[in-house]
Each structure stands twice: as structure tokens, then as C-alpha cells.
A = this chain, B = another copy of it.
């Protein structure tokens, strides 16, 4: 069959007009937020039903066509990038939610539901979808599941994995599996649901997910604390965790704050300048809790761990303090940052950060480095900004060359080369720094079980 005959057949599997091959669409749907890879898909297909997804997968098996799943395209690992004539399967039209089940606190979502849409729906029922991150306004649930998205509330609520009650997937063989059926307790053999979470679409495509919701948080209150050095952040974390149930514990550097301040639309937390800042959040359910927070703050000041601090007194102030952290990524994006998303166990963070910082600043003294991240989970975002006068290719080439040293350090600390962004194409060649050869071989064997023809997002996680 010729290439165009293939595509003609694809048109018959979905609704009229739901296969696009124009250059703009191929460019737009062929990539995610990563910029390193040139998109080159053959076509974009938009299924509307599970049956259409199954038909597409069966068609792909028959003709050995590679498929790339596509959600909100906000990924940072190029897991949803089509560089090699693949057919992109976009879930934009599978974006419905079911009725909220307020007894089980669950809601059925199609994969194309936007994270924010789910968060708002939960809010309408006085409930809460707690997985939250900078791109929640455009990321989709299917993509969140594919990468096991984390974000800013993991210290309290865990990753996306914790919130998936049930999953319907179409495997690479075209089978529809209904996994776990939304049960809390179900000890009937291997929990296949877990395997598809974080698999980046390499085993199958999610066609429906039942997501859990939590009770709405009560009177969320944030503190921003300035510390004299990075090491002081750890005893601050320990002190507050010992007294309060934290919903977040983030950090950022003075350089990160300066970038956000330069925007001019966010008030500074306080006037004292500090090299590092911690942002923590908790539910101030009673005055006693707020007093406990203030007493802990004073203790931290007395110990010399904290120089200055502020606590939100209103929802507006809470929102403003969060902007200090949440706007960082967006504010530095025009500087084409080279991002590393790495993690170690929490106790090892200070030594690890110091070592990585030394590597980067010694190798590239002229590069500007912006640190921020989720200290409470051991997850650090290292952002290297492109100097204005360096072109993109030369800049990325230099960054890639420092990766080896960074990842060797990650390996030394038994850490992860990708804490929450996934592997995709970007981290694929470094996977061995976090996973053993035996593990990688087992992963490949598992892929062969669910996707014997290798048509599901091939080349992602590991090379074909």
C-alpha cells in the first residue's frame, strides 16, 4: 500500500475532517514544549471514542505505522514529539468528564480533559484535585498519567499515580483493558494500572481515567522565608514538618526571585535580600495552627536559619506569594533555559545541590544558573540560561556536554535523572544513570508484551 493509501484508510476510521496533514498542523501537533527536535509527523488524527482509538491502533499494527500520543503538548522530555513520520494521535476531542461521584469522591475523565478543568470541576463540588503545576491550564489528564505528573503539592498529596482510581487503556495490541475498576482495595493479581502510569504511551494509550478527588483544603496559608544559605533550608523544613502538616515546601534562589521581580507585576515578599527562599504552605484550620507556625518561624529565626519572613493573611496574599515561585518558569522561558529535573532523597539534597552547583559553575562560569524546586520531595530544577550572544545550537551543545558530569553525580547519590518530566527523547540516552542494565532489559521485555510490533511511541524511554 502506498503512503497516501494508508492515510486514506486512516480517514475512514474517525469522524470526517479528523485527520490533518497540512503543514501548520503537522508543526503544531508534532511537538511538545521541548525545542530540540524538529517535528515531522505524517498526519494528525483526532479520535472521538474508545472504539476509534482501538481502530487506529489496529490499523497501525496492520501497516506497522508508529503512533505518537499527544495531549496538552506541555511535556518537557519530548515524549510527545513526532520526528520520524509517525501518526500523532491527539486526544483534544476526547475531553469530557462524567458526573462527580461525591460518595467515592471520583470522576471519570477522558484523556483530553485539561488539568484545570478537572480542578475546577472538583471545586464546584467543594472537592479538590490536588495535582498542580505550572502548565495545569493546558496539560491534559492523559499526559499527566503518561508522565506521572508531580508538581507543587506532592509533599502532601503524592504524584498523579495516587489519584488514578481506574484506567481504561488500549494496549499496543489493540486490546481494551479496564484496570482496577475504581476500587480502593483490589488484591487480584498484578496491578497493571500502575504499569501504564508513567509509561509515556509506550505500552498503550489511556482512553479513560477515573480520578480521585480529595476534600477541599481549609484556609490555605503560605509563608515565604529568607535563609542565609541553602543549608539552612533543611532544618527549616524539618522544624515545620515536625509541627504542621505541610501542603507544599518549595524553594528558589535570589536569582530566580530577581527574574520574577523584574516583571514588575508581583510584590516582593519583604525587603531583606536573602540568597535563598523557602515557600511553605499549610491549612490554618485553627488559630492554634497559625500560632504554631509563627512560633516555629521565631524558633528558626533564633537558630539563625531564617533572616526574614512573611505569612499570608488573605487569599490575595496567598496568591501573590505563590506567584514568586510559580512565575519563575514562565519568566525565564525567553532565555531558552536548559532544564534539568533531578532528584535525590531529601536528606541528601544539600550535599547534592552543592556538588552539582560546583560542577556547573566551574565548567561554565559565564552561564547564569537559576535553581528552584520542590525541596520537600528532593526534586531540584536546575535551569541554565542561554547568554544573549550565544546561539541556541552552541548553547545546547555546551549544556549537553556538562550533562555527563551532572548525571554521574546523580548516579553517585542514587538519584533520578528525571524526577517528574519523564524520559522521552531528551533523557533516553541517559537512562542508565538511573536504571540498571537489567532493569532496562526487563522494561524492554514488558514493552514487547503489550506492544509486540513496537508501534506505540517508539524511540521514547529507550531507542528502538
- Which positions in A face B, CB cutoff 8 Å? 101-104, 106, 147-148, 150, 154, 158-159, 161-162, 171, 175-179, 181-192, 194-195, 197-199, 203, 215, 234, 238, 241-242, 245, 286, 288, 343-347, 374, 377-379, 414-423, 427, 431, 434-436, 438-440, 442-443, 445-446, 449-450, 461-462
Contacts and interface: CB of A to CB of B under 8 A. Distances in A.
A345 B378 contact: no
Given A103-B346, A346-B103, A427 B183 contact: no
Contacts of A415: 181, 183
Contact of A241 (B175, B215, B421, B423): B215
A31 to B, nearest CB: 19
Nearest to A437: B175
B103 A419 contact: no
B198 A435 contact: no
A104 B345 CA distance: 7
A158 B445 CA distance: 30
A450 B442 contact: yes
Contacts of A148: 187, 191
Nearest to A415: B183
A461 B190 CA distance: 9
Nearest to A343: B185
A443 B185 contact: no
- How many copies the complex holds: the figure is 2
A313 B203 CA distance: 53
A19 B343 CA distance: 43
A150 B192 CA distance: 18
Most buried by B among A104, A176, A185, A420: A185
Given A191-B197, A195-B194, A195-B195, A343 B421 contact: no
Nearest to A347: B103
Instruction: Return the 7 tightest CB-CB contacts between A and B, nearest first.
Output: A194-B194, A185-B419, A103-B347, A186-B416, A184-B377, A188-B434, A181-B414
Contacts of A159: 185
7 contacts: A101-B345, A179-B439, A181-B345, A185-B420, A186-B416, A188-B418, A194-B195
Contacts of A182: 345, 414
Most buried by B among A158, A190, A288: A190
A443 B192 contact: yes
Nearest to A126: B242
Given A189-B443, A442-B192, A449-B446, A378 B184 contact: yes
Contacts of A442: 171, 175, 177, 192, 449-450
Contacts of A449: 442, 445-446, 449
Contacts of A419: 183, 185-187
Most buried by B among A187, A188, A190, A192: A187
Given A199-B190, A238-B103, A154 B185 contact: yes
Most buried by B among A188, A197, A418, A450: A188
Contacts of A189: 198-199, 423, 431, 435, 439-440, 443, 461-462
A169 to B, nearest CB: 11
Given A185-B416, A187-B420, A189-B443, 18 more contacts: A101-B347, A104-B345, A104-B378, A106-B345, A158-B162, A161-B191, A179-B439, A181-B414, A182-B414, A183-B343, A185-B374, A185-B420, A187-B198, A188-B418, A188-B423, A188-B431, A189-B435, A215-B241
A211 to B, nearest CB: 14
A422 B374 contact: no
A171 B345 CA distance: 25
Contacts of A439: 177, 179, 189, 192
Contacts of A161: 191
Given A191-B197, A442-B450, A185 B150 contact: yes
Contacts of A440: 189
B344 A183 contact: yes
Contacts of A379: 184-185
A168 to B, nearest CB: 11
A158 B165 CA distance: 12
Contacts of A183: 343-345, 378, 415-416, 419
